[in-house]
Structure formats: structure tokens, C-alpha cells
Structure 1
Amino acid sequence: MTAARRPPTMSPPPASPATPPTDLPWTVAALYQFRPVEDPAALRDTLLTLARSLDLCGTLLIAPEGINGTVAGSSESITALHDTLISLGFTRMEYKESGAPTRPFRRLKVRLKQEIVTLGVPVEPREQVGTYLTPQEWNALLAQDDVIVVDTRNRYEVKAGTFQGAVDPGLDAFREFPAWVDEHLKGAEGKKIAMFCTGGIRCEKSTSLLLQKGFRDVYHLQGGILRYLEDVPPEESRWEGECFVFDGRVTVGHGLMPGSGEMCHSCGWPLTAEEVGSPAFERGVSCPQCVDRTTDAQKAAFRDRQRMYDGLCP
């Protein structure tokens, strides 16, 4: 396997809407596509109006380079959104549905951005990316001894779970990744580099960046961890822990079933059962990671926010 330039016509095939793995009442759709958007503001207005009419919650990001987001609603509403995006030309989306037992987002946000995922340096993921690997091909590659496996997610995501033997760059934001590559992968241009993220979008840019820097054998997990956990049975899995997701479920496990994770809604860190049991933990207000970093006035505001959220999402 060798990484190669990939013209836009060789994008991964579009995913059709799939029935969530359970009969949970909320359907969660994670989606993205790198595709030129001539008028991002007009697309934002169209999707905001549609999402409001469908009573969706979650976030959609629109930029000149494409669309990215995770949204939730009824199964019918999510299907309507999917069909509309297809009609608007997003026919090559990386798209994944899963289920949630309760409302997974507090509100709806449809925003304009300069990038749909912020790397901070120019790359061309529509034209040059690494070799896509299916979950089964990914397992075969990870079984080899001469592969450097890199988790491109933020360190609080890695805390919830990662692949066996993966390198954690310790990122607080994805825009830190180029500097990490320059410092820690210097001299590894001839080695096999395998990268992964939650849904695949960060690896589109990560592999494009490495190829741009002269790396040759660059691979990434198509559909990200979410597709891997859906497709690979636990007995064949090389995944350890759960996968952090940016919604009220906090984590998911194999089969994309909601996990056991708890998140501090003050600082965003996933918490262990021990941390939840700490005196520093107050749901929606503080945890051991952040209890000393906020003032009493901020904690009071967080309590008000949590009471409001509890009223909306009993």
C-alpha cells in the first residue's frame, strides 16, 4: 500500500442514511465533506432555516472548503437533512448515524468558519490525502511492527480511549498538530504513518499535511473511530476504552451504543467514576480538572446554566 494523490472523483463513496443501532429516540448524525462552497453565507441561511423547521439540535459548520457537523433530532428529521444536503451537491459525504437516549445537545448552532476543521496551515485534502483503510485493513496494518500510529485528537478525547500502541501528541487543539509533526516526526518521512480521529475529518487534513511535507506511506482510518466501532466486533477490536463524542452521550462504545462516560460541562474533560465521586465534582459546575480555575461568580453562573438545562432535558 502506498499513499498517492487522489483526484476529487476518487472520494470515498457516499454513505446512505442508516438505521441507528438501537431504537433510541434521538438520531445523531455526524457528517462532513470537503467540497467548494461558493456562497457559504447563503448555505448557512438555508441550513439554519431548515434545521429550525426540523427541530434539530447540534452544530453545523460551513466554510469555503465544505461542511462539517454533528446534529440530532428525530429519525425523520435527520433523513430530511441528509436528503437536502445531497440535493445541494454534498453527494460524497462521510456520514454516520447513531442513537442517543436523551437530547444530546443543548441548542442548535449553524456557523460560518474559515475552515470546517481548523488546522491553521493551508492543505489540499480534496486533491492529496493518504490511503484510506477500512476497519479490517486498519487492523491488519496495526498488526505490523514498522508502523507509527498517531491519534490526531485532543488529549481530553484520548483520555477516554484510543487504539493499542497509539502515540498521543498531547494536543489541546488541532492547530497544534503541524508543530508536533515538525518536532516529533522529523526523520520519519520514509516510515509508515497511520492516523485516526473520531469521524475522519481531522485525518483528511493530517494526511494531506504529511504528504505535503514529503512523507510517502501515509494512511488513515476511513470513517474514523465511529465506523470502526460500528463495524468491528469487540473480540476483533484493537480499541481500548470508549470513544469521546462532542454531545451529551460523552462517549460511545462498540456498536455505537452510549458509553459510561461523564463530562464536566465547565471544562469539557471526560471523567472517570473516581473523578465523578470527588468532592470537586459538581455536575455542570466543576471537576478536579477545573475546580480551582473558576471564580465563585463563574460557578454560580454555571449552576444557573445547569438548572436551565435540567429543565429543558429532564
Structure 2
Amino acid sequence: MDTTLNLAAYRFVRIADARELRDSLFSEAQRHGLLGTVLLAEEGINLFLAGAEDPLRSFMDWLRADTRFRGLEAKESWSARPPFRRLRVKVKREIIRMDHPAIRPAAGRAPAIDAATAKRWLDRGRDDEGREVVMLDTRNAFEVDYGTFEGAVDWRLGRFSDFPAALRAHAAELQGKTVVSFCTGGIRCEKAAIYMREAGLRDVWQLDGGILKYFEYAGGAHFAGECFVFDERETLDAARRPRVGAEPETP
């Protein structure tokens, strides 16, 4: 029986008190018996947490009481046991490293499409204006190898900070097409979409909530394989279930 709720969420928002917030977040998450990782930076928050449903939802209510995180949306999945061994709350330079400080999503998001729109475009192979749709995978190469959208562009990134150089090498191939950047939960494809727009590509969108949110709405439509996740489950299928045998053993 699946009794562990897993939540992934992020938000780009200015956090001037990251170190002070770290202490209160750790204390509150620990009080609720949660495991996982929370990353904080001046640019925002990125979290992956697991625990019993009521305590985890209570923690998220506490977090959303902070006006900076009001309405924070989370991607949900369930497992038999927590896929994390401990709780960590860390302050970093970026919540997702791109090494391009001019990209500041908190100052304004790139346009996003939801899962329903993405599926409609993929069903047709065209966007609502009739342009060819290109799905651009912004994840690392090893993640892509577990599964991706059918026909997606894969630049074989070693790490996300390789994305700017890869775009410079391939930008001409995307001109005149509608580009939808995607990743696991939305954080990398959001930065990538902003960078592409600043580089001069006009018709660029991000897949809101990434693959995990798409799975919630559309299941495995147009997706081949499984989605890699950075915890002990390793991958999730289109039903957001871990591969058989991938969950951690009971200690």
C-alpha cells in the first residue's frame, strides 16, 4: 500500500533571507517528519519532499503562508516508502545551475503551455498557428536515455550549464519553429525558455510543470519510456509509479 506522498515544487522569487529561511524550513520540515531536499537561493526555492500525507500537506500550508510562496504548485506521486534517507535544506548560488547570472526568472517568466495544450499540439504535430512544433529536452543526456517525448530534440547535455553553448551551436535549426522546452518538473525548461527568447528565438514556450505534470494530465501520450527522478525510485512511469523493484528496501 502506498502511504508516502512525494512532492516536487519550485518557484523563482527573490529570497533575500535565504540563510534565515533555511533554519526555519529545516525545523518545520523536521517537526513534520519529512525527508528530502530543499534548495534555497536568492533566485528562489526548489524542493523534493516525502512523508505521510497529512504532515506533508500541513508543511506545505505553512510554507504557502509566506507571501513569496503563496499558491506554490506541487507535482505529486505516491510510493510505499520515502525515497530519501534524510532531510537536507541547503543554500546555493542558484536553485538550478546555469552559470548565466543575467537570466533571472523571478523578474518574469517565459510564456508557458499546459499539458492539455502540449498534447493537442503533439496530436497535430503543429501549434494553433500551424507552425511545426519542436519538443526540446533540456535535461542531461543520461536522463533522456530513460525516456523522453517522441521525436524530441536532445543535445546530449552533460549538465544544465552546457545549455547556453548548445543553443549557440543549434539555434539556426530552431528558427521558424515553435519550440517547447521541457524537463522533469519545470525548473530547467523555465530558465532555458527565457535564455532562448533573449537569444532571439521568438516562438518559445516552456512546458508548465514539466514531464511530471504532463503525466498527471495526459499519461504516456507521445512519451516513450520513463522519467528519471533524482531520488531512490530512479524513474517514474506515466502513472507516476516507480519501476518495479526500484523503491528502497525497508531499513
Q: Same fold (TM over 0.5)?
A: yes
- Which consecutive residues of structure 2, in runs of 5 or more, have no partner in the other structure? none
1:1-314 equivalent positions in 2, closer than 5 A: 24-89=2-67, 90-121=69-100, 122-142=102-122, 143-144=125-126, 146-186=132-172, 188-234=174-220, 237-260=221-244, 262=246, 313-314=250-251
Q: Determine the C-alpha separation between the residues in 2 that align with 1:81 and 1:174.
A: 30
TM-score, structure 2 length as denominator?
0.90
**One-letter code aligned to 1:137:** T
TM-score, structure 1 length as denominator?
0.73
In the superposition, relative to structure 1, how do residues 130 and 54 fare at CA in structure 2: closer, same or farther (>3 Å)? same
What SS does the corresponding residue of 2:8 show, helix, strand or coil? strand
- Which consecutive residues of structure 1, in runs of 5 or more, have no partner in the other structure? 1-22, 264-308
What SS does the corresponding residue of 1:29 show, helix, strand or coil? strand
Identical residues among aligned pairs (%) = 38
- Structure showing greater radius of gyration is 1
Does the 8 Å CA contact 1:250/1:261 hold for their aligned counterparts? Answer: no
Q: Determine the C-alpha separation between the residues in 1 that align with 2:94 and 2:19.
A: 14
Does the 8 Å CA contact 1:56/1:108 hold for their aligned counterparts? Answer: yes
In the superposition, relative to structure 1, how do residues 147 and 79 fare at CA in structure 2: closer, same or farther (>3 Å)? same
**One-letter code aligned to 2:20:** A
Give CA-to-partner distance per residue, 1:248-271, whole Å, 9 cap, x none: 2111112312234759xxxxxxxx
**One-letter code aligned to 2:119:** N
**One-letter code aligned to 1:182:** R
Q: Determine the C-alpha separation between the residues in 2 that align with 1:246 and 1:57.
A: 14
Alpha-carbon offset, residue 192 of structure 1: 1.6
**One-letter code aligned to 1:133:** I
Q: Determine the C-alpha separation between the residues in 1 that align with 2:226 and 2:160.
A: 20
What SS does the corresponding residue of 1:185 show, helix, strand or coil? helix
Flag the structure with more relative contact order, 1 or 2, with Cα contacts below 8 A and sequence separation at least 6: 2
What SS does the corresponding residue of 2:165 show, helix, strand or coil? helix
Q: Determine the C-alpha separation between the residues in 2 that align with 1:37 and 1:158.
A: 32
Number of residue pairs the alignment of both structures matches: 243
Does the 8 Å CA contact 1:251/1:261 hold for their aligned counterparts? Answer: no
